[in-house]
Amino acid sequence: MSTQFIGEGNIGSPPEYREFPNGNDDPRRLLRLNVYFDNPVPTKGGEFEDRGGFWAPVELWHHDADRWQQLYQKGMR
């Protein structure tokens, strides 16, 4: 089962890229990211305060893994 979530966060650890054998076909590719999604809440002074963000594992497969493996780095937003 797959869940779709759209959010903006920071990559918290170096991305992990792996390839899995797939018989005679091209290997299956996986890029794993650990991302922190913050929860900015506006204050009365017009500033924003982080309230209760969360960490989430993110996986990119196949062509997406190939495309982003060289770009994504720890700390990127």
What three-state secondary structure class fits 8?
coil
What three-state secondary structure class fits 23?
coil
Q: Does residue 12 have a pLDDT over 70?
A: yes
Q: Residue 15, class by beta-carbon neighbours within 10 Å (0-12 exposed, 13-18 middle, 19+ buried)?
A: buried
Note whether 11 and 35 are within 8 A (CB): yes
Q: What is the pTM of this model?
A: 0.77
pLDDT band per the 50, 70, 90 thresholds, residue 1: low
What three-state secondary structure class fits 66?
helix
The per-residue pLDDT for range 25-59, each reduced to its tens digit, is: 889 999 999 999 998 889 999 998 888 899 999 99
For residues 51 and 65, the model is more confident at 65
